[in-house]
Structure 1
Amino acid sequence: MNHLDVVRLLGLDAPVRTEGGGHEHVIPEDCELLLQAVQKGVIAGSVLLGRAALPVRSLEHFTEDAAPRIEDMEASLRTREQELPLPFFPNPGGMVPWGRTARDGVLLWDTTDQNTANWTTVLAERDFQVWLDLPFSASEFITRALLGRPEGVPAFETYEEYESNTFWNVADDMRQTATTLANPHIGAVEEILTVVRSVGIPGVRQYAEELLDRAVNESFDVLPEDYLTVMREFPGGVIAGVRVFPVAGDTAASPVLRWLDEDRLFLQWGEVEGRATGWLTTKGAPQDWRIACIEPNGSALTCLEDQTFATFLRRRLRGNNSLF
């Protein structure tokens, strides 16, 4: 998928590529072409492109409007004693913001690859507790949002149109999210899914389902039900400082759900503070598997006998970062 898919879905004329414009060296060319073609507004009721003078001459200039939001992210995570999934620009390989969501989330590029054409998307929800790692360019991300949007949601709205139309549905959803999370009797799985859904981007759930179906069909016959329920909507990333691997994917590019030993006694689904995190599977039934962490040097294993996948993540979301 590329920028031409986006302009086709929006019914726009394709932007003209300018030879010698330096597109490949500052930001991904597909995004610069989208900025050229798409006016200010809201795409699929959920995505807002960052704006910059064209052609983009420097990342410093491209990111200057997002600087206050980046400071908020860093301060919020420091308060929670959580690390960033990746550093921010101008650190080498640092994340570069390229847009935001209608629910005040942030869209960033993972710039680990020196080739801007290979930069992929990181999506952080408004409280920076959920980060999604998505192997999509800006164009593919927006295309999936357009294709996955609910019936009745316009492909594009100016800010004025959005504020008199789709905004009210988004506001209602955000109020419902707050009400659900305020319920003292909310279950662990429901709490996690409510936070994940608060990202509010069409197409994310469809991608998560693709990954889960592939993993179940190809590699894992039986997994804990709470894990399956969450991962059907969460494609991988970070939840409350815990890196949760995708259930499937290109293992050469990034780790996925995997066995750490030949005897299949430890199934790793993520990492926290450098520790391999997963289940001890010595108890046969997946519903009886409990969370365990292995020290980075392999010197010790800690088992949280009372914690399942969902209860462990909920505890982290509520501010308890203990690994004991």
Structure 2
Amino acid sequence: MDHLVGTQSPPRRPAGPADAVAALERALPGLAGLRLPAPRGIDWSGLEAELGVGLPADYRLLCELYPSLVIGDFLAVGGPAPGEEAGWVETTREELETVAEWCAEADLTVPLRAFPAPGGLLPWGASSQGDFFHWSTGPADPGEWTVTVASRSSVWWHYTGGAVQFLADLVGGVLEPWGLPRVRAEVAVW
């Protein structure tokens, strides 16, 4: 049986996207060495128009500054490559079909739905063990979206910070990793 165990909140919200990325760099000492020499130049306006929603600025900055990453040999997070934005949107739409199936099968007290439903889940990361990491989208600024974790152990939960802050807090041990293993502070290019 699936269950929504609760919501965790960050002790402090970052001042902006650069502050969130800096917090992740502090939590993952090897990350700064993987920083690209220049921003990637992803066509965010075209991608977001095709996807039908703007994405959080912290995630966009992470994708501009870093290649796709695997954290702790567990959690993969990555974004579109320049020139491949349409393919990324198509892959995301395919992933949304899986999210819709998971939401339909989950026996949650508060039902969740996949994007583009109002407040729907939009994936941004996955683990090597079958856990999924989403934004709970909403009418508010994407910077205010909640992270929703759907673990393979049928534990679902929310985090009221952004995706990059979630990664920093998960690796840094600030969060209780409900349904997830502890994540080592190691990072590699995916």
Q: TM-score, normalised by structure 1?
A: 0.39
User: In the alignment, what sits opposite 2:133?
Assistant: 107
Q: Which amino acid aligns with 1:43?
A: I
Q: 1:34-183 counterparts in 2 under 5 A?
A: 34-54=62-82, 61=90, 63-77=92-106, 80=107, 82=108, 85-127=111-153, 129-148=154-173, 153-158=184-189
Which runs of 5 or more structure 1 residues have no equivalent in the other structure?
160-324
| Number of equivalenced pairs | 155
Q: Offset at 1:151?
A: 9.9
Q: Offset at 1:58?
A: 11
Q: Is the 8 A contact 2:103 2:112 kept in 1?
A: no
Distance in 1 of aligned mates of 2:152 and 2:115 = 19
Q: Does 1:28 align with 2:56?
A: yes
Q: Does 1:4 align with 2:25?
A: no
Q: Offset at 1:98?
A: 0.8
Q: Which amino acid aligns with 1:98?
A: W
Q: Offset at 1:44?
A: 2.9
Equivalent pairs: percent with the same residue? 24
Distance in 2 of aligned mates of 1:32 and 1:38 = 10
Distance in 2 of aligned mates of 1:154 and 1:107 = 18
Measured at CA, do residues 93 and 70 of structure 1 come closer, stay the same or move farther in structure 2, by a change above 3 Å? same
Can you list the C-alpha shifts for 1:129-162, whole angstroms capped at 9, x where unaligned? 3111111101101111232299993520345xxx
Q: Which amino acid aligns with 2:128?
A: A
Which runs of 5 or more structure 2 residues have no equivalent in the other structure?
1-13, 15-19, 175-180
Q: 1:8-19 counterparts in 2 under 5 A?
A: 9=28, 10-12=31-33, 13=35, 16=39
The structure whose Rg is larger is: 1
Tell me the secondary structure at the aligned position of residue 6 of structure 1. Answer: helix
Can you list the C-alpha shifts for 1:278-313, whole angstroms capped at 9, x where unaligned? xxxxxxxxxxxxxxxxxxxxxxxxxxxxxxxxxxxx
Distance in 1 of aligned mates of 2:58 and 2:69 = 18
Distance in 1 of aligned mates of 2:89 and 2:57 = 17
Q: Is the 8 A contact 2:100 2:114 kept in 1?
A: no
Q: Is the 8 A contact 2:119 2:136 kept in 1?
A: yes
Distance in 1 of aligned mates of 2:22 and 2:113 = 31
Q: Offset at 1:42?
A: 1.3
Q: Is the 8 A contact 1:45 1:154 kept in 2?
A: no
Distance in 2 of aligned mates of 1:21 and 1:97 = 17
RMSD in angstroms over aligned alpha carbons?
Answer: 3.7
- Taking CA–CA contacts closer than 8 Å with sequence separation of 6 or more, which of the two structures ends up with the larger relative contact order? 2
Q: 1:242-281 counterparts in 2 under 5 A?
A: none
Distance in 1 of aligned mates of 2:183 and 2:132 = 24
Q: 1:158-237 counterparts in 2 under 5 A?
A: 158=189
Q: Is the 8 A contact 1:108 1:123 kept in 2?
A: yes
Distance in 1 of aligned mates of 2:117 and 2:98 = 17
Tell me the secondary structure at the aligned position of residue 48 of structure 1. Answer: strand
Q: Offset at 1:84?
A: 5.6
Q: Is the 8 A contact 2:71 2:183 kept in 1?
A: no
